[in-house]
Structure 1
Amino acid sequence: MTTTAPGRGGRAGLDAAAVSEALALGDCGEVAGDAGRRAQYSADASNYRRVPLAVVFPRERRHVLNTLAVCRRLGVPVTSRGAGTSTSGQAVGAGVVLDFSRHFNRLLALDPQAGAATVQPGIVLDDLQKAASAHGLLFGADPSTHSRCTLGGMIGNNACGSHSLAWGRTADNVLELEVVTYRGTVVRLGEMTQREIDEAVAVGDDRGQLIASLHRLARNNLATLRTKLGRFPRQVSGYALEHLLPERRFNLARALVGSEGTLAVVLSATVRLISPPPARALVVLGFQDTGAAADAVPALLEHRLLALEGLDQALTDIVTRPRTRAAIDSLPAARAWLFAELGAASDESADTLPLRATELAETARQTTGFTGSEIVTDPARARRLWRIREDGAGLATRTPDGAEAWPGWEDAAVPPDRLGSYLRQFTQLLTRHGLQGAVYGHFGEGCLHVRIDFDFTTEEGTAVFRAFVTDAAGLVTAHGGSLSGEHGDGQARSELLPLMYGPEVIALFEEFKEIWDPDNGLNPGMIVRPLPVDGNLRVSPHREPLPLAPPSRGFAFHADDGDFAKATRRCVGVGKCRAAAHRGDVMCPSYRVTLDEKDSTRGRARLLYEMTQGEVITDGWRSTEVRDALDLCLSCKGCSADCPVEVDMATYKSEFLYHHYRGRLRPVSHYTMGRLPRLSRLAARMPRLVNSLTASRLAPLVKRLGGIDGRREIPRFADETFLTWFRRRTPRGEGGRGPVLLWVDSFNNHFTPEVLRAGVAVLEDAGFRVQVPDGTQCCGLTWITTGQLGTARRIARRTTNALVPVVESGMPVVGLEPSCTAALKTDLPELLDGDGDGDRDDQARARALAEATLTLAELLARRAPDWQPPRIDAHSISQTHCHQHATSGFGADSELLRRMGVDNTTLASGCCGLAGNFGFERGHYDVSVAAGEQVLLPAVRSAAPDTHVLADGFSCRTQIAQRTDRTATHLAQLIARALPAATEPAATEPSATEPSATDKEPTCD
């Protein structure tokens, strides 16, 4: 069959539609060539951007083979992709992208006796680890992206991770590979004896010819392979031709590892599993700077470590999130740290770990620049500390002053005994080029990660980038190192390989590539015949962004200099949002259900950024592709806390909806649920009539007209609102602690006033005099989530103005509905400066209100630390509301429950799935329920009858009530029910001539 070499011209005139049609007709599995999909796959976690013609999601082996056949016929190159977390640009391509992660991701076999597993390339590492752990085993390589990276991607880059010091790289743990070449030859690879080589060659088929050519290459270049390659463990750059040596048993599987998808496509992999140590100890060592930490490495390596990781204070200074900040603040006083992990060899030797840890700390104490140490014995704390290191790739993408930082030289490695010298000269090189970056990485193996504040927006900045990486390549070569230590070369470093290897080795690499892929059809431009290091940059002065109209903003985006495009660039592609079950995280509920890139925070951020560029997504704010991708975003704000770079997709979604529907007809749910506070006040005039209507035979029609899914029950309005009850009661208690303003949210006021009444009882028992806002104030949450930001801003301005006396008096504001509390704390300050010409007094008032706003547990902890809550000896499970998770966390609540004697389990459940209007809207029901069914709802159903189910969020309680036979309780209710019994003073009936609070003119519209 005649083929067209895609890397050498390709077939002219092919467009995305034609390629997609050919793939669909060719039985290639799920095929997508629409603008939205192509935009989602235009980048990985690198500096580079290449828009593919189509994306294929194979389900079966034949789909992979058929895709290659179609692409071969069309002369289109193919790029294999796992989780898309590569930082060097090798997971993006201009042809067809094969995404194995979605469907081609099964565990095919696991043999505990042999210590081996066979997997498809799309399997996520943590899924393999979970299956292996059931047999007391694990896969040795463990990169920080373990919760979402795939084995295929690890094989492509020769990933290593924190424990490669003890357990090796991916190559060291691969036993056998089954691969297919671009020309369709399927080959099983592994170690081969000379007899096996001779037998294969004698057959004379495509496989035999391939093996013969590879064996001839090795035989003719033995000296070069022995002296230039494989000199130290982290020499990952280029092709691993050293594995073709006879003393390495001509191991073609290991030679293929690290080839970045340029030689063959992996169909399956058989990998080695090992037995982890039964016990571990973490020793945190502090140093005066990273140079001193690097100098200490050789001495520390004498202690048989599992891991030796380094952190620079420049990295930890970037962290602002309270929970992560708390872990950092507990580190020994220093400007750099080493995390050293020891492992027991057996159950009997576990008791030797404390002594070994002490000896390790003593060795560190004798090194220059040592400042202190701590032996961490609490596994939970050790996990929190390791998480700082795992999040390094994301944390380092912003400098402490907010500037953007980028990969490009984040992966160089040198022999460990030369690390100190290299690091100091590297720091000098940064200074010489006017750059800065936070250093971290695998110090025990001499591998440094750093993100640098390159300026890709200008010609001068791009020239500095090119000059710097060229100089850095010379520096690492002078130290006997490798341009890449585990991330691969990709477009970031392939052009620089001649500086490291010279012409002889580069010629061997080219010959190796030619043997495997003479058509240059697999990931062309990587390793050999490279693309320029400063080409295809994601941010480039050569590409004019689309001028988005209208110019006014909804939100201020203060942290991104008011630049929406810069805000979307926060997503650098580390893909933590693709972790389907990262314990304790909320992000990203819809992705956890669909496992579709378009429903991840990253996928949505990619589309929004492409929208600002105007090349693939061409209709700006009116884009239907972006609208559809944002449709399943629950606006849970989980990403703002869980994403290492604090991408806030809920805010981005609101901003998009604001512009998308400006001056246009909106979905009906925006008019009903988006304006719920206004409609609730109308319903409160005749709640029984409204409830009768929504429970009658007309309910399906009501739901349909309101944009509500027919399977959802409409919550019942209370017979009496909280405000009506409160304004006719007599305060109780002495109020010795002073006044507190109870924020009266629309949800509890109209649907569950008993929650607010319980809040009053608790606050009064704690010694506060409870007040409520004058009139009927609102945070504007429902208008914000539906993108009605003009109205939301007017509501916010009225609210902040109304509360000026409260805030100026120093009175705390306590909220019982987490979503409204979060809106007061985070959304209003951004909203009131969003249009760029906001009144400075409004902005100052919003910030002051945000600072004054507390949760109930926070208020009691800060303002009433000596108050003794009632003793409740009981068990509970608690669901943390997403917005509380994102803003204040559950720490204060946990401590309050502990003081009460409650044995509480905080569910690692993520979002409940209802998420305000999301779970009610037509078209969202299945995802909403599926999100709840992942952890929360099964946990509620299986809880013992006497276990309290705690949920402060109205949405969470509603989801539980509608999907289980249990009723959830607000923390305030749990406490109030245990307070000493007292008779509530008789309420005063409202005057016949004075309207009740419910009847007053609403201020929230």
Structure 2
Amino acid sequence: MIQPTATHTFDLPAIERDLTEAVRGEIRTDIFSRGIHATDASHYQIMPTCVVNPRDEADCVAAVKVAAKHSLPMTARGAGTSLSGQTHGVGMIIDVSQHMDKLIEVNEEERWARVQPGIVRDRLNAQLRHLGLHYAPDPATGSRATVGGIIGNNSSGTRSILYGKAQENLLACRVLLADGTLLDLDACDWDRWCAKSNQENLEGRIYSRFGQIIAENRDEIEARFPKVMRRVGGYNLDAFLDDPGQTPWNLSNIIVGSEGTLGILIEAKVKLVENPKATALCVVHFDELLPSLRCLPAMLEHGPSAVELLDHYVIDEAIRNPATKHLCHFMEGHPKAVQIVEFYGDDQAHAASRAEAFAESMRQQGVGFAQAVRRDPKEISEAWDVRKLGLGLIANTPGPRKALDFVDDACIPIEHLAEYVERLLKVCEEHGTSAAVYAHASVGVLHIKPLIDLHYKEEQEKMRSIAWAAFEMCKEYGGSWSGEHGDGLVRGEFVRPFFGDQLYEAFKQVRALFDPRGLMNPNKILDTPLMTEHLRYGDAYRLDVIDATESRINYHYRDQGGFASAVEQCSGVGACRKVDVGTMCPSYMATRDEEASTRGRANALRMAMSGQLGPDAMTDKRMKDVLGLCLACKSCKTECPNSVDMAKMKSDVLQMMHDRFGLPLGYRLMGDSPTIARLVCGPLAPIVNWVQGLTPMKKLLEAIAGIDARRPAPKFATWSLQGWFRRHRKPKDDRPEVVLFDDTYASYFEPHVGVSAVELLEGCGYKVTLARAGCCQRPRLSKGMVRAAKKAGEKTLRNLDKYAREGLPIVCLEPSCASSLADDLPDLIDDVELGKRVAPQVMMIDEFLAAEAKAGRINATIKARFDKLMIHGHCHQKSLNSTQGMKDVLDLAENVTYHEVDSGCCGMAGSFGYEEFEVSKQVYDLRLGPAIEKLEPGEEVVACGFSCRHQLSDFSGLKAYHWVEVVSAENSNEPR
């Protein structure tokens, strides 16, 4: 077998030449692309030789033949959410997730679907929903996990107690072998099996010899394979113990769980099951962890569809984390553990009655201190969302010690589970650490994740010591060391001692049958190195280079402990690769390119800052490319369970690039746009507006500043908000004061929006003061002019501080201004207390009015200008604040109906849409564009972002309104 060493080299120019001639998909050989694919969701890292994104089966065959010609190992990859280190290797990464993601065929009557390996599990089920069917394996990463990856790992997920593993849901598959052979594998009766065995080719040798391997090892298979539901270690030889004359053998069963070591999955025929008609939950709360495990037999007597555990690590982080704190209403009080117990029913009443009966039984038996039944679909969804984000949540613990996956996948018989967990936690305590515990209590697969700092050798050895202690206990209880995450690199060391020498040799014989040269994902499952080798934070991770990088950073990253720690917060779980839901990450949703994901960017930064991508990698042109498609939407700060703020890190790295190469003219124009707008607004505006609309000027700006000529420039106003406000007749009565942050857009481009805001606030009974504090610095921050933003931004905050010290609310119209003032600038400036005083006073205008209305401090009649509204939320508003305030105030108006569209990002994102026109259009076309096409007659669009309104105008011709333009208030003048 080929060992994955850093010194192993191949003839890359020849490989690249042959691939270019044979493959139509993307071929990447630069060190940045390779580095981005060198890791997955595990704590391992192996630098590949090249990356191929095949467009179809023919591309896969061509790529594999090139690899075989050059004796280049091959590793198939989907979403890269593997926790055991299966999806990276020294050779060719074949990433099927970008293009090979189609639902090919559905047979509703027979309940099966034929799919390509790169299709995302949740996207598949969305396409099947109208049939009332779904693909059952449901790993927590289902929003991005590919079906090919689920099959490769033999994954299962939350409801395996009902539906089993991927193995039970795979009917047939098409596999590409290392020599280019394509095999179609399905259930064969004995006559057909024998006919295949008699063929004079590779397929014939596989069928003939495989049956012999089973016969030679039958007794050992029966004796050694664990008798638990969730077992995925080694190869599935136990699936072939039935008499083939009575029960057809299906070689798909040996492919599932093989982690790409036997062949590359090209197509899969998967079983479909009926969607549940109704569900209800009972959330059982516990004061301690172990009692929640001892009651599992009693819980399972009620036939639940799932029993999922969350311990205090997950609960505490879920309550604190921006990505989940709004989802935690399903819990009561402050439990140390909860069991989420799910029941299906024929209808909602039936499901709820089952949950209620279960809750009453638990109360009578004294199980838990609270048994909360949840029947509302929203609450049920929120509970499962928190559970799905469990891995990311526990990885978000502050500091270098992280909850790691190395004893996380054992399946222990239910009757021994509590004792096993108690003993393992004691082992962790003896090693000076603790562990998080959560997941599939129903089947005895608890993900136990000790906190380890892998930056240091002694901690790496501690990991191995804990693993071996846990392994011996697992064998003692008759469990399986691998329950659903597979062997990969982290558990490969244990395969021989678990199954014994005879079965280990049988595994090797099976592998050699399919892949005689050992080119398919070598050193996974078999012939693996020690679990402490090839670590992400291994010998190549140079802290001295990181220290040099830190010295050039401007933000403080106070919440994460510095820039390096902020980068390392990315655990690789890949939540940024979800599609069709949420906002993170717009450019990934548009391109489906790993490089465009938050994880891809974080991997590039991590490897660059530790010196693994060569000297000056932080300011390399490729780094600019990697960061270039980040829209700085800040959705990763809240939708990522690890709160990776890529927008902030991008700003810092751009500043480093400017220091090295100088500030590009286009960046200077965009960064200084507030100053330009202030100078142009007024009498000069018509002239400048006319000039910048001329084709020669557009072409010139495209050439010298990178502003796409297809994009209309926003028009400057002929009058300013400040000028209007000076002339405006202010209310004379003694009213509570509110400060309106007069941003650049409302001041010099769309002052009518500022006027509407002033009139709305006054109509609600407030005295309005314009902040006149200066720019929020968002334009400079977005273009990497961080030091200039720091200097000017501190002045802005000091100007606002006089209001903050008086306790006055500072309301914003532009979401990106609010996020800059409340989030970015406080972490950028050195004066911590200044930021702490100003940030809490900054809020969106709708958020302020909604809170005031709820407190009973608004005595006014709220009216809407239009009868029907569609709300599109700005990325920063959805990420760092909320769109709820707009809806709460609209609820006070009697003359309007509205809905908020799940539109993701509009694609403009400040200057991004002017520089990256094509990707900007792709993002718009994903969800916002289709939503606009479905507008009802008379329905108007609300979009609080200046960029959003212009994106809508550019691509649809539609005039969108700021929220303050569609709401009015008439003060009744009654005492407040």
- Matched with 2:339 is 338
Task: Quote the residue 2:789 is aligned against.
Answer: 792
Q: Which moved more, 1:232-241 or 1:67-76?
A: 67-76
Alignment correspondent of 1:874: 867
**Distance in 2 separating the partners of 1:51 and 1:884:** 38
CA distance in 1, matches of 2:667, 2:953: 24
Which residue is equivalent to 1:827?
824
The superposition leaves residues 841-889 of structure 1 with CA deviations (integer Å, 9 ceiling, x where unpaired) of x321122111111111222233453214414483211011111111111
For residue 529 of structure 1, report the CA deviation from its aligned partner.
1.1
Q: Encode CA deviations 1:395-449: one digit per residue, 9 max, x unaligned.
A: 1102267843322222222122222111211221221111223211111011112
- The farther-off stretch of 783-792 and 286-295 is 286-295
CA contact (8 A) 1:411 1:447 kept: yes
- Report the Cα offset of residue 698 of structure 1: 4.8
SS at match of 2:269: strand
Cα distance, 1:6 vs structure 2: 4.1
| CA shift digits 1:21-54 (9 cap, x unpaired) | 2322344743211112101101010000001000
Secondary structure of 2:595's aligned partner: helix
Matched, 1:899 2:892: yes
C-alpha separation in 1, matches of 2:418 and 2:7: 51
Alignment-mate amino acid for residue 511 of structure 1: Q
Q: 2:747 aligns with which of 735, 745, 749?
A: 749
For residues 911-930 of structure 1, the aligned pairs below 5 Å read: 911-921=905-915, 924-930=916-922
User: Which of the numbers 775, 778, 799 marks the counterpart of 1:778?
Assistant: 775
Residue 42 of structure 1: aligned partner: 38
Partners of 1:243 and 1:252 within 8 A in 2: no
Q: Quote the residue 1:996 is aligned against.
A: none
> What CA distance in whole angstroms lies between the structure 1 residues aligned with 2:7 and 2:83?
29
**Aligned position for 2:324:** 324
Answer with 606-615 or 536-545: which moved more.
536-545
1:724 is aligned to 723
Q: What is the rounded CA distance, in whole Å, between the counterparts of 1:457 and 1:886 in structure 2? A: 32
Q: SS of 1:662's equivalent? A: helix
| Contact 1:458/1:541 (<8 A) preserved | no
* 1:511-551 Cα shifts (integer Å, max 9, x gaps): 22222222111111111111210000001256325354582
Change (3 A) 1:27 1:762: closer
Rounded to whole Å, the distance in 1 between the matches of 2:707 and 2:62 is: 43
Q: Quickly say closer, same or farther: Cα 1:236–1:980, change in 2 above 3 A.
A: same
State whether residues 137 and 165 of structure 2, in contact with CA within 8 Å, keep that contact through their aligned partners in structure 1: yes
SS of the residue 1:456 aligns to: coil
Matched residue type, 1:415: P
What is the 5 A alignment of 1:177-196?
A: 177-196=173-192
Q: C-alpha distance in 2, partners of 1:656/1:450?
A: 36
Counterpart of 1:570?
A: 569
CA–CA separation in structure 2 for the residues paired with 1:57 and 1:323: 31
- Number of residue pairs matched by the alignment: 959
From 54, 60, 83, the equivalent of 1:87 is 83
| Equivalent pair of 1:11/1:76 in contact (CA under 8 Å) | no
Alpha carbons of 1:943 and 1:358: their partners in 2 closer, same or farther (altered >3 Å)?
same
Residue of structure 1 equivalent to 2:357: 359
Alpha-carbon separation, structure 1, partners of 2:380 and 2:444: 23
Query: Aligned with 2:280: secondary structure?
Result: strand
State the Cα distance separating 1:699 from its structure 2 match. 4.0
CA distance in 2, matches of 1:467, 1:138: 42
How much has 1:940 moved relative to structure 2? 2.6
**Distance in 1 between residues matched to 2:407 and 2:795, nearest whole Å:** 50
1:51 correspondence with 2:8: no
Which TM-score applies when normalising by structure 2? 0.95
Written as runs of structure 1 = structure 2, the 5 A alignment for 1:948-967 is 948-967=940-959
Aligned counterparts of 2:824 and 2:205: Cα–Cα separation in 1 = 65
Q: Is the 8 A contact 2:330 2:374 kept in 1?
A: no
SS in structure 2 at match of 1:80:
strand
Q: Where does residue 884 of structure 1 map in the other structure?
A: 877
Please give the alpha-carbon distance, in whole angstroms, between the structure 2 residues aligned to 1:971 and 1:29: 45
Aligned partners of 1:712 and 1:920 also within 8 Å: yes
Aligned partner of 2:841 in structure 1 is 852
User: 1:611 maps to which residue?
Assistant: 608
Matching of residues 515-664 of structure 1 within 5 Å:
515-541=513-539, 543-545=541-543, 546-547=545-546, 548-549=548-549, 551-562=551-562, 564-582=563-581, 585-662=582-659, 664=661
SS in 2 for 1:558: coil
User: Which residue in the other structure is 2:143 paired with?
Assistant: 147
- Aligned residue number for residue 498 of structure 1: 496
Instruction: Report the Cα distance in structure 1 between the residues aligned to 2:6 and 2:493, rounded to whole angstroms.
Output: 22
Q: Secondary structure at the match of 1:491?
A: coil
Cα distance in 2 for residues equivalent to 1:578 and 1:388: 18
Structure 1 521/706 Cα, relative in aligned 2: closer, same or farther at 3 Å? closer
More displaced stretch, 281-290 vs 631-640: 281-290
Q: 1:9 to 1:851 in 2, by over 3 A?
A: closer
Deviation at 1:727, TM superposition (A): 2.3
Separation of aligned partners in 2, 1:710 and 1:30: 28
User: How far does residue 552 in structure 1 lie from its aligned partner after superposition?
Assistant: 3.1
One-letter amino acid matched to 1:185:
T
Structure 1 partner of 2:264: 265
Q: 1:707 to 1:475 in 2, by over 3 A?
A: same
Match in the other structure for 1:256: 255
Match of 1:938 among 923, 930, 941: 930
State the distance in 2 between where 1:430 and 1:363 align. Answer: 35
Structure 2 CA distance for partners of 1:698 and 1:108, relative to 1, 3 Å: closer
> Quick one: distance in 2 between partners of 1:9 and 1:768?
68
2:188 is paired with a residue whose SS is coil
Correspondence 1:973 to 2:973 = no
Aligned to 1:986: none
Residue segments in structure 1 that go unaligned for 5+ positions in a row: 833-837, 983-1005
CA distance in structure 2 between the partners assigned to 1:550 and 1:140 by the alignment:
46
Distance 1:255 1:158 in 2: 10
Q: Which runs of 5+ in 2 are unaligned?
A: none
1:127-173 deviation line (CA, Å, top 9, x unaligned): 22122222211111111111111111111100101111111110000
- Offset of residue 183 of structure 1: 3.0
Amino acid at match of 1:968: A
Shift of 1:794: 0.7
1:455, 1:351 → 2: CA distance? 49
The alpha carbon displacement at 1:68 in A equals: 2.2
1:345-384 matched pairs, under 5 angstroms: 346=346, 351-367=349-365, 369-384=367-382
1:667, CA displacement in angstroms?
2.8
Give the partner amino acid of 2:909: A
Instruction: State the one-letter code of the partner of 1:715.
Output: P
Residue by residue over 1:817-859, the C-alpha shift from the partner in whole angstroms, topping out at 9 and shown as x without a partner, is 1110110010011110xxxxx3xxx321122111111111222
Secondary structure (helix, strand or coil) at the match of 1:188 reads: strand
Partner residue of 1:988?
none
Specify the SS of the correspondent of 2:175. strand
1:7–1:520 contact (8 Å) kept in structure 2: no
Pick from 27, 31, 37 the counterpart of residue 27 of structure 2: 31
Provide, for residues 188-217 of structure 1, a one-character-per-residue CA deviation record: whole Å limited to 9, x for no partner.
222233222222222332211111111001
Partner SS for 1:672? helix
Alpha-carbon shift at residue 942 of structure 1 (Å): 2.9
The residue type paired with residue 64 of structure 2 is: L
SS of corresponding position for 2:688: helix
**CA shift in 2, pair 1:676/1:607, >3 Å:** same
Matched residue of 1:339: which SS?
A: strand
In the other structure, the counterpart of 2:712 is: 713
Code of the residue aligned with 1:766 in structure 2: it is C
In the alignment, which residue of structure 1 is the partner of 2:396? 398
Aligned residue type for 1:152: G
Give the partner amino acid of 2:505: A
Q: Does 1:814 align with 2:811?
A: yes
TM-score w.r.t. the length of structure 1 is 0.92
Q: Using the alignment, how far apart are the partners of 1:72 and 1:166 within structure 2?
A: 41
Task: Confirm or deny: 8 A CA contact 1:877 1:904 kept in the other structure.
Answer: yes
* Per-residue deviation, 1:290: 2.4
